[in-house]
Amino acid sequence: MGQPVVQWQILARNPDALTSFYAALFDWRVNADNAMGYRTVDTGSDRGINGGVWPIGPTEGHPLVQLFVEVADVAASVAKVEQLGGRVVIPPQALPDGDRLAIVLDTEGLSLGLMQRRA
């Protein structure tokens, strides 16, 4: 099945303004009707990948884009990250929809999401 990049995510200081911007620019559709209040972004195309927007606080750095890789076992992937010299920022967490997610840093210090779909 491979381990594909399945989503992009923008960390934004003002998520509402940002999603309005992209909705106006590209006609992307935003929907936050879910248990995490997560702003999903549908580009409306069958090509490429969709994304989402997550808020950051005023002391939490600058806005940036993250990529998310789907893995079979998020805990095993996190262990491998550490073996390979990466760092764990947020250990595996179970999301209300049943997916599991961890945030890590690669060897360049870039953040990366690891996602395991619910069984």
Does the footprint of other proteins cover residue 31 (CB under 8 A)? yes
Does the footprint of other proteins cover residue 20 (CB under 8 A)? no
Tell which residue, 115, 10, 14, 18, has the closest CA to residue 53.
Answer: 10
Member of 4, 21, 27, 60 binding other proteins (CB under 8 A): 60
Member of 5, 72, 79, 89 binding other proteins (CB under 8 A): 89
Judged by CB, which is closer to other proteins: 22, or 55? 55
Does the footprint of other proteins cover residue 22 (CB under 8 A)? no
Question: What is the phi/psi pair of residue 7, to 5°?
Answer: -165, 155
Q: Please count the residues of this chain forming the interface with other proteins, following the rule CB under 8 A.
A: 52
Judged by CB, which is closer to other proteins: 25, or 47? 47
